[in-house]
Amino acid sequence: MNSVGQIEVSIKSEGDIVAARRTVRDAAIQVGFGITDVTRIVTAASELARNVFKYAGEGVMTWRQLEEPGRVGIELRFIDQGPGIADVQLALQEGYSTGAGLGLGLPGAKRLMDEIDIRSAPGRGTTITLKKWRMI
């Protein structure tokens, strides 16, 4: 699998959530996604960028373009050194939240993207990788 470029956005303030959305919007348009998929991808990024800020205080988001025969895609990765997720399966359930949210952030991001990979353990931070593909 080829990858093109890699751009990093640091997330340590509320304003950085907006910056992450804008970066992802531009990236998704650049990869050639239509407006509905762009909106799905940006919304997923917004949920996860906010989770980084809310639960870990700071972290980074990186994105890169994916290229495979017959399809291109976008990969978003959110990395933090925060408290981690004790039970990933539970965190993916709709309505479950340890914070004051709706519990739709992580499950919502999963629904909006094609692939999600969560690496986390208590005290060891969290890395979440999302992919969305577009046939060419």
The footprint of other proteins (CB under 8 A) covers 13-19, 21-22, 25, 35-36, 38-40, 42-43, 46-47, 50, 94, 101-102, 104-105, 107-108, 111-112
Q: Which is nearer to other proteins, 39 or 67 (CB)?
A: 39
**Residue 45 vs 66, nearer CB to other proteins:** 45
Let me know: does 80 contact 52? Beta carbons within 8 Å.
Answer: yes
The residues, any chain, with a CB within 8 Å of residue 26's CB and separated by 6 or more, are none
- Helix (H) or strand (E) holding 41, with range, is helix 35-51
Q: Closer CB to other proteins, residue 14 or residue 68?
A: 14
Q: CA-to-CA distance for 77 and 63, rounded, in angstroms?
A: 6
Q: State residue 48 phi and psi, 5-degree precision.
A: -75, -35
> Residue 15 or residue 122: which is nearer to other proteins going by CB?
15
The count of other CB atoms within 10 Å of the CB of residue 63 is 24
Indicate the residue among 32 and 123 with the shorter CB distance to other proteins.
Answer: 32
C-beta of 14: minimal distance to other proteins in Å? Answer: 5
Instruction: For the CB of residue 30, give the shortest distance to other proteins in the complex, in Å.
Output: 16
**Residue 41 CA: distances (Å) to CA of 25, 46, 59:** 8, 9, 19
* Closest distance to other proteins from the beta carbon of 31 (Å): 16
d(CA 54, CA 46): 12
CB of 1 to other proteins, least distance (A): 27
Shortest approach of other proteins to residue 21 CB, angstroms?
6
